[in-house]
Structure 1
Amino acid sequence: MKRYFLVSIILLSIFYTSCIPYKDTLYLQNKSTATDSLQVIVEQQKPYRVQINDILNVRIKVTDQDNVQIFNPIGIGNLNASGSERAYFDGFTVDLHGNIRIPELGEMNVLGYTTTEIEKLITDKLLEDQFKETANIFVTVKLTGLRYTTYGEIGKGMQTIYQERVNIFEAIANAGDITDTGDKTDVLIVRQYPQGQKIHHIDLTDLNVMNSPYYYVQPNDMIYVKPVKQKSWGTGTNALQNISSIATILSLVTTSILLFQRI
């Protein structure tokens, strides 16, 4: 009888420790204040500054649009391309020196500039070399989609979203969400900087993640979701899966005990 009691205690311990806690599966929990309180979240996002290998979409409009055809090369590289491929052929890639090369204007250094600052650079250059104020120059510069990479316990691969602003939850949803065995409490973001790469940690189960400077995804980010420790144990992720496993183990243990008692 004592043996059965001991086995039951061991199995119950395995049951409670092998399940993934419910609180670790929920996003945006209010961990610091009462659940019925009103909390104002102030989102933090600094203007993105262009990096090497970014692809910029530059469009120039003037009163006489025929005069700027050379600045707006649409579909010259591959007329059958679409999406990110089309952006690659039509856009201006920032080279290793931080320059883009625009027809007639030549090379312009844009490394570390925001798109608004680049618009002003191009406008000033056009007024200096090509047009007068009466041409009513209007320049738009945009990133050709926000590209990032996901791997680990999430849909894997290079993702592209055609928006100027994407938060971490939108990026994860676009990749197919985090699996049941993914650790939402410590998601790693590998971010590019002029001096190299840095790794940042964010907790997606905490509501305060919206205050994080890494809440918004930047181009070329890598998002890595680690597995929870329960995955390496090979146990189930929920109670039903563990009950099935424990029932199998209990049956095996009971059979073994009966066999030993007969010996």
Structure 2
Amino acid sequence: MNKPKIYLLFLFSILLTSCVPTKDLVYLQNKSEGNATAVTPSNQKPYRLQTNDLLNISIKAIDPKLVEIFNPSGAQNLVSTPDQGNYFNGYSVDDHGNIRLPILGEINVLGYTTEEVRTKIEKLLLEKYFKSEAGIFVIVKLAGFRYTINGEVTNTGTKTLFQDKVNVMEAIANAGDITITGDRKDVKVIRTFPQGSETFSLDLTDAKVVNSPGFYLQPNDYVYVKPLKQKSWGTGKTGIESLTTIVTILSLATTTFLLLRN
């Protein structure tokens, strides 16, 4: 085999290995042999409160004056964003798993769902302070869905979404999507529990990822998208970029050789 052919083979092999294949960029591909799509039941379990969670609790009645003390409004003029409002007006779960409400005092909510907390507060109010005719209506929600995302995404940092359920695809979209040099086949979701932490590895190019227990996030999850090898090689993300890089290197090598020869 002559030298030109060897050079062309070398150039072609570099182009193949340096650019990012399309199949590594497409989300939720059906990688199974069959083409039929089946409805997959959700395996998401209700979120149970942990320490440092922040709750928004609203108590309403037929006569609003009866429940004014439960609905803080004194710090409204101090806030400029919803996150700040949640910080000043929300109820934080302390290290013992308690929240502290006016009149009712400390209530343990550790391990409860928000619906169970709502039922608990409503029961206490009706047993001790109000009659059913008062029309007590309690709303308990998490003060925003907070998570942190880092690595190969457009906008890293701690994000807050004002919705009850968030999956990893929504979290990534909220961060501006994964960059072309991000590894969609090995996205890490780190989840902290009172007894420790657990790490899930998600292949977002496979449609079966929706069955993973890490697909639906929980508040305070940490999402990390690691870079592909192509980023550290620096050869380019596409075939054109890789070819440009290689031509530049060959031109530099040729110029250096000619200068040294002369």
- Report the TM-score range of the alignment, normalised by the length of the smaller protein: over 0.9
Aligned AA for 2:133? T
Aligned to 2:95: 96
TM superposition shift of 1:132? 1.8
Structure 1: stretches of 5+ with no match in the other structure: none
Q: Relative to structure 2, which stretch is displaced further, 163-172 or 40-49?
A: 40-49
Between the aligned residues of both structures, percent identity stands at 52
Aligned to 1:161: 161
Contact 2:235 2:246 in 1 (8 A): no
Aligned AA for 2:30? N
Q: Deviations over 1:42-74 (max 9, x none)?
A: 232110111111110111112222110001112
TM superposition shift of 1:27? 0.4
Superposition RMSD on alpha carbons, in Å? 1.9
Mapped partners of 2:4, 2:51: distance in 1: 66
Mapped partners of 2:76, 2:61: distance in 1: 26
Counterpart selection for 1:77 from 54, 75, 78 = 75
Q: Relative to structure 2, which stretch is displaced further, 233-242 or 9-18?
A: 9-18
- Secondary structure class of the residue paired with 2:111: coil
Q: Deviations over 1:222-256 (max 9, x none)?
A: 11000011111111111110111122233345556
Aligned to 2:150: 151
Aligned AA for 2:59? I
Mapped partners of 1:91, 1:181: distance in 2: 39
Aligned to 1:57: 56
Aligned to 1:25: 25
Aligned AA for 2:75? G
Alignment of 1:1-263 (within 5 A): 2-34=2-34, 36-74=35-73, 76-81=74-79, 82-154=81-153, 155-254=155-254
- Secondary structure class of the residue paired with 1:79: helix
TM superposition shift of 1:80? 3.5
Aligned AA for 1:77? A
TM superposition shift of 1:257? 6.6
Structure 2: stretches of 5+ with no match in the other structure: none
TM superposition shift of 1:41? 2.7
Q: Report how many aligned residue pairs link the two structures.
A: 260
Contact 1:42 1:210 in 2 (8 A): no
Mapped partners of 1:56, 1:77: distance in 2: 16
TM superposition shift of 1:166? 1.3
TM superposition shift of 1:188? 0.4
Mapped partners of 1:170, 1:71: distance in 2: 34
TM superposition shift of 1:150? 0.7
Q: Deviations over 1:113-170 (max 9, x none)?
A: 0000001110111122211222222111000110101110012111011011111111
Q: Relative to structure 2, which stretch is displaced further, 149-158 or 124-133?
A: 124-133
Mapped partners of 2:257, 2:83: distance in 1: 64
TM superposition shift of 1:8? 2.3
Mapped partners of 2:255, 2:3: distance in 1: 13
- Secondary structure class of the residue paired with 1:68: helix
Length-normalised TM-score, structure 1? 0.92
Mapped partners of 1:133, 1:37: distance in 2: 53
Q: Relative to structure 2, which stretch is displaced further, 9-18 or 47-56?
A: 9-18
**Is the alpha carbon distance of 1:259 and 1:88 closer, same or farther for their aligned partners in structure 2, counting shifts above 3 Å?**
closer
- Secondary structure class of the residue paired with 1:183: strand
